[in-house]
Amino acid sequence: MPIAGDLDHAVFLVRDLDEAERAAVRLGFRPTPRGVHSPAMGTANATIVFPDRRTYVELLGIVRPTSANSVQRARLERGGGLFGLAFKGRDARADAEELARLGVADGAAIDFSRPVALESGSREARFTVARARPEATPGAWCFVCQHHTPELVWREDFLEHPNGALALIEIVGVAPDPGAIEPAWRRLFGERVQKAEGGFRVRSATAPITFLSPEALAERLGELAQRVAGDEPRLVAASLALREATAAEAWWSHQGVRVNRGPHGYLVAPSEGFGAVVEFRLP
């Protein structure tokens, strides 16, 4: 099982990082100040970190084309949205070797950083990642992320949000035939891949990844399912735990954000957010 860690964060690829940050605020989040990654990466981000101190959402944009961001650029040409899934790792170099041994990775682990401005001065948040090829897990791009400075990611001053979001608790994907892509996911995640009603699920102590058939997705997302389903497997929704409803409803009303009621809470359309449905799940 080459990817053994739990889900660490979900990556939304965005064309316009300024607009994505404004959308985050409209939805009731407090995104961290923008960080620019090491030059070889050619990317910049803003993050939405949660009080669970285990998960976060990354809004990722391209600063300049590089070989390291070719996969992201190719996906952005097809519309962007929820695409990357980062799993927790303790030794990304060993993980990269294992992925290469299986023939699902092209290179070694990558070290990079981004500056973080603090009252005490600027520091570098440092990471090492081991990437599988996108085709290794149809519908998503999975990689292992080793945090060397987690205290600079889950910043104390950005953990609380006006909407009361607490944690990333599930990622939802859709596939015309979930059974056809399940073996590929099982190759990387082993017995953590289990049958689920309408599809399959990758177990995770933080946020499981669930792939559903179009019919099962319609039961989950209602009319929003038609806006995100397609002919190919893809990630379509991120579910967040919500502390309670009152503060979130008041914020969305003030910001003019339209929300739908779903079977587990509130659903926000891709056009209101970052190219995928955002589900706010009530306790």
We report the CATH number of the domain holding residue 69 as: 3.10.180.10
For residue 1, what pLDDT is reported?
73
Establish if 2 belongs to a structural domain: no
Mean pLDDT of 131-142: 97
Establish if 42 belongs to a structural domain: yes
Establish if 232 belongs to a structural domain: yes
Q: Are residues 119 and 40 in the same domain?
A: yes
pLDDT at 73 over 90: yes
pLDDT digits (tens, 9 = 90+) for 22-64: 999 999 999 999 999 999 999 999 999 999 999 999 999 999 9
For residue 106, what pLDDT is reported?
83
Q: Are residues 225 and 208 in the same domain?
A: yes
Establish if 215 belongs to a structural domain: yes
Question: How many residues would you count in the chain?
Answer: 283
Q: CA 184, CA 187: separation in Å to the nearest integer?
A: 5
For residue 37, what pLDDT is reported?
97
Among 143, 158, 173, the domain-final residue is 158
pLDDT digits (tens, 9 = 90+) for 148-170: 999 999 999 999 999 999 999 99
Q: Are residues 17 and 123 in the same domain?
A: yes
Q: Are residues 118 and 224 in the same domain?
A: no
Q: Are residues 175 and 110 in the same domain?
A: no
Q: Are residues 113 and 238 in the same domain?
A: no
Backbone angles phi, psi at 118, to 5 degrees: -120, 165
Q: CA 8, CA 272: separation in Å to the nearest integer?
A: 24
For residues 86 and 273, the model is more confident at 86
Q: Are residues 176 and 76 in the same domain?
A: no
Establish if 263 belongs to a structural domain: yes
Establish if 1 belongs to a structural domain: no
Q: Going by DSSP bridges, is the β-strand pair 277-281/234-242 parallel, antiparallel, or unpaired? A: parallel
Asked whether the beta carbons of 277 and 228 are under 8 A apart, the reply is yes
pLDDT digits (tens, 9 = 90+) for 93-125: 999 999 999 999 988 999 999 999 998 899 999
Establish if 128 belongs to a structural domain: yes
Among 158, 185, 208, the domain-final residue is 158
- What pTM value is reported for the model? 0.96
Q: Are residues 170 and 129 in the same domain?
A: no
pLDDT digits (tens, 9 = 90+) for 244-281: 999 999 999 999 999 999 999 999 999 998 999 999 99
For residue 107, what pLDDT is reported?
80
Q: Are residues 178 and 152 in the same domain?
A: no
For residue 273, what pLDDT is reported?
82
Domain of 89, in residue numbers: 7-158
Average pLDDT, the chain: 96
Query: Cβ of 120: how many Cβ atoms within 10 Å?
Result: 6
Q: CA 7, CA 204: separation in Å to the nearest integer?
A: 6
Q: Are residues 32 and 154 in the same domain?
A: yes
Residue among 253, 247, 270 at smallest CA distance from 79: 270
pLDDT at 208 over 80: yes
| Total domains in the fold of the chain | 2
For residue 113, what pLDDT is reported?
97
For residues 189 and 78, the model is more confident at 189
pLDDT confidence band for 229 (50 / 70 / 90) = confident
Q: Are residues 42 and 175 in the same domain?
A: no
Q: Are residues 85 and 206 in the same domain?
A: no
Residue among 215, 225, 33 at smallest CA distance from 116: 33
Among 158, 187, 208, the domain-final residue is 158
pLDDT at 2 over 90: no
DSSP symbol at 223 = G
